[in-house]
């Protein structure tokens, strides 16, 4: 990102770039899951009964696919958080006047500073907790939305 951009624009740019890099995996997962569900007996039966493709997708495929979509999206959020944190940690993202977990962890790179100020490592704990919280939230929502349970 250019140095003369404001921190808000840099953050939005990082968000857009990470989103553009991550969406093909989600799109591929959605397509493959929907193609697999399309061949299931309930979808074929609905097609043979004369249901329109829109109705088959809306009433039969999407409810069966919701749990997979929830899991994929909630797994994508922690990867975005870790991506922004890593870029800021390496100095490629947000810069020190702005507070970010990566910027805070970047200050902990100096071992002498960590020896004198051990609390500089504390920003690592919220990163781990938030990523785990999103993982557990996604797992719980997937289990709650599972039509086969």
Q: What is the pLDDT along the chain (149 residues), one digit of tens a residue?
A: 777 888 888 888 888 988 898 888 888 888 888 888 888 888 889 989 998 989 988 888 888 887 778 878 888 888 888 888 888 888 778 777 777 778 777 777 777 777 777 777 777 788 889 888 988 888 887 777 766 66
Residue 57 lies in a domain: yes
Query: pLDDT value at position 90?
Result: 81
Residue 136 lies in a domain: yes
Residue 2 lies in a domain: no
Residue 66 lies in a domain: yes
Identify whether the C-beta of residue 85 lies closer than 8 Å to the C-beta of residue 127. Answer: yes
Residue 20 lies in a domain: yes
Specify the number of domains making up the chain.
1
Q: Which residues contact 11 (CB under 8 A, 6 or more apart)?
A: 84, 94, 98
Query: pLDDT value at position 147?
Result: 60
Query: pLDDT value at position 45?
Result: 92
Residue 11 lies in a domain: yes
Query: In angstroms, rounded to a whole number, what is the distance separating the alpha carbons of residues 15 and 13?
Result: 5
Query: In angstroms, rounded to a whole number, what is the distance separating the alpha carbons of residues 65 and 57?
Result: 10
Whole-model pTM?
0.68
Residue 43 lies in a domain: yes
For residue 133, give the H/E element and its range. Answer: helix 124-145
Other residues' Cβ atoms within 10 Å of the Cβ of residue 74: 19
Q: Which residues contact 45 (CB under 8 A, 6 or more apart)?
A: none
Range of the domain at 79: 7-145
Query: In angstroms, rounded to a whole number, what is the distance separating the alpha carbons of residues 143 and 105?
Result: 34
Query: pLDDT value at position 25?
Result: 85
Residue 1 lies in a domain: no
């Amino acid at each position: 990102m250019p140095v003369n951009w404001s921190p808000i624009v840099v953050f939005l740019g990082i968000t857009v770039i990470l989103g553009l890099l991550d969406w093909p995996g989600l799109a591929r997962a959605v397509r493959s899951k929907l193609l697999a569900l399309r061949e299931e007996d309930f979808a074929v039966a609905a097609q043979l009964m004369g249901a329109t493709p829109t109705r088959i997708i809306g009433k039969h495929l999407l409810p069966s696919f919701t749990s997979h979509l929830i899991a994929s999206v909630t797994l994508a959020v922690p990867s975005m958080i870790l991506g922004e944190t890593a870029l800021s940690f390496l100095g490629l993202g947000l810069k020190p006047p702005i507070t970010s977990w990566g910027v805070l962890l970047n200050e902990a790179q100096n071992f002498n500073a960590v020896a004198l100020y051990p609390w500089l490592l504390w920003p690592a704990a919220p990163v781990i907790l938030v990523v785990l919280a999103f993982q557990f939230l996604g797992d719980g929502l997937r289990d709650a939305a599972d039509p086969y349970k």
